[in-house]
């Protein structure tokens, strides 16, 4: 019996004779008719040769990100193959950082920002490679509140507090006019005049000026709803309003400054959460227009208001924070602890 390839020998060949007789060898993609003959009798079959699938390119995400010293950045690699398919190959590529003193990277694609500078992050598999820059910047400086840091509630004009309920404040309280002074835990003072109040209000204005001078990590011409988001330390600058619907999470140690050229508004039942070493002492909200904490909301961080009012809705809480305004503050059945 003899075996031979017919129709298109450029696609497949057949070994004739010997122990390997009948063994086919695919040459290129396509179909070839294979014929077996013996004593004038023959049979045929069609052999389809599929081209080998190879990795054609690698795409990385995100492209050219920026991170703060001490933060983590997850890179991902998507491979495109010769047959047009794609696959996530993040855990199979070889990751490298060109300047390991700026950032290191794990086999999983997670980079650690070590020092300010720029490094190239690359993903390699076989002959294919992709590279993007990773810029690491210094963590923003914290905002120094001066003597205003002693106050949980500070208002340059007035504090309006409801008479039918109880607002409990852990920290000093200060304002020249107070409808109903809030209840304070033991060891703190309520100031209505004097050098301590005057100095604290002056220090608040200095702190706001300094906070507004910090370079922006993120800058936007619009507003934002932070609800559902998780952000690392940084200076976040928005021309429009900042809204919080649902839960907003800050993750990672360092300073957080949120500036808006408009209003700050946490809606009813919203919450601010701190994870991964984030500390409310390093969280500062600096709106230009009014700030309102919705009813039953749970807020964290210090609100610094230059000349507009701060209003806390019914039963809203500010655990680990302050309401500091050069203007007026309105309270209603709140719990505030600096």
Same-domain check for residues 198 and 126: no
98-114: pLDDT as tens digits: 999 999 999 999 999 99
Structural element, H or E, at residue 203: helix 195-213
Average pLDDT over residues 306-322: 96
Same-domain check for residues 215 and 333: yes
Domain C-terminal end among 113, 137, 161: 137
Q: How confident is the model at residue 7 (pLDDT cuts 50, 70, 90)?
A: very low
For 45, the domain range is: 2-49
Beta strands 158-161 and 328-331 are: parallel
The 8-class DSSP code of residue 115 comes to S
Q: Are 336 and 171 a contacting pair, CB within 8 Å? A: yes
Same-domain check for residues 150 and 31: no
Q: Supply the Cα-derived Rg of the chain in whole angstroms.
A: 33
Same-domain check for residues 127 and 150: no
Q: What is the CATH number of the domain that holds 59?
A: 2.60.40.1080
Encoding tokens for residue 329? 């503050």
**Residues facing 191 on adjacent strands:** 174
Same-domain check for residues 129 and 181: no
Three-state secondary structure string covering 249-306: EEECCCCEEEEECCCEEECCCCEEEEECCCCHHHEEEEECCCEEECCCCEEEEEEEEC
In the three-class reduction of DSSP (H, G, I as helix; E, B as strand; rest coil), residue 21 is classed as coil
**pTM value > 0.75:** no
Same-domain check for residues 202 and 72: no
Cα separation, 329 vs 154, whole angstroms: 8
Same-domain check for residues 165 and 256: yes
Same-domain check for residues 173 and 130: no
Cis before 26 (ω within 30): no
Same-domain check for residues 80 and 192: no
Better-predicted residue by pLDDT, 142 or 22: 142
Average pLDDT over residues 322-334: 97
Same-domain check for residues 190 and 314: yes
- Structural domains counted in the chain: 3
Percent of the chain exceeding pLDDT 70 equals 93
Domain C-terminal end among 34, 49, 64: 49
115-156: pLDDT as tens digits: 889 999 999 999 999 999 999 887 777 899 999 999 999 999
Same-domain check for residues 152 and 285: yes
Same-domain check for residues 168 and 316: yes
**Residues facing 31 on adjacent strands:** 48
């Amino acid at each position: 019996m003899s075996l031979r390839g017919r129709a298109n020998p450029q696609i497949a060949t057949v070994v004739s004779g010997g122990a390997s007789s009948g063994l086919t060898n695919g040459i290129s993609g396509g179909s070839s008719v294979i014929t077996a003959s013996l004593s004038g009798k023959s049979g045929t079959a069609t052999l389809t040769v599929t081209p080998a699938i190879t990795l054609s390119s690698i795409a990385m995400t995100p492209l050219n990100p920026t991170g703060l010293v001490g933060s983590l950045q997850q890179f991902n690699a998507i491979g495109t193959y010769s047959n047009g398919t794609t696959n996530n190959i993040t855990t199979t590529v070889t990751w490298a950082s060109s300047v390991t003193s700026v950032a290191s990277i794990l086999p999983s694609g997670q980079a650690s920002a070590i020092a300010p500078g720029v490094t190239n992050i690359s993903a390699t598999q076989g002959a294919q490679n992709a590279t993007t820059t990773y810029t690491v910047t210094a963590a923003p400086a914290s905002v120094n509140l001066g003597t205003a840091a002693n106050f949980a509630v500070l208002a340059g004009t007035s504090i309006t507090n409801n008479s039918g309920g109880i607002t409990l404040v852990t920290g000093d309280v200060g304002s020249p006019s107070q409808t109903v002074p809030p209840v304070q835990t033991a060891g703190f003072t309520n100031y209505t005049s004097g050098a301590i109040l005057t100095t604290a209000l002056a220090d608040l204005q200095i702190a706001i000026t300094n906070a507004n001078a910090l370079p922006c990590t993120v800058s936007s011409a619009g507003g934002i709803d932070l609800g559902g988001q998780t952000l690392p330390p940084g200076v976040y600058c928005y021309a429009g309003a900042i809204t919080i619907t649902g839960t907003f999470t800050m993750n990672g140690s360092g300073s957080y400054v949120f500036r808006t050229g408009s209003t700050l508004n946490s809606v009813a039942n919203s919450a601010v959460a701190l994870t991964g070493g984030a500390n409310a002492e390093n969280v500062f909200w600096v709106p230009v227009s009014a700030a309102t904490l919705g009813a039953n909301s749970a807020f964290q961080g210090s609100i610094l208001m230059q000349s507009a009012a701060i209003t806390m809705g019914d039963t809203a809480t500010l655990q680990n924070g302050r309401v500091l305004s050069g203007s007026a503050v309105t309270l209603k059945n709140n719990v505030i602890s600096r």
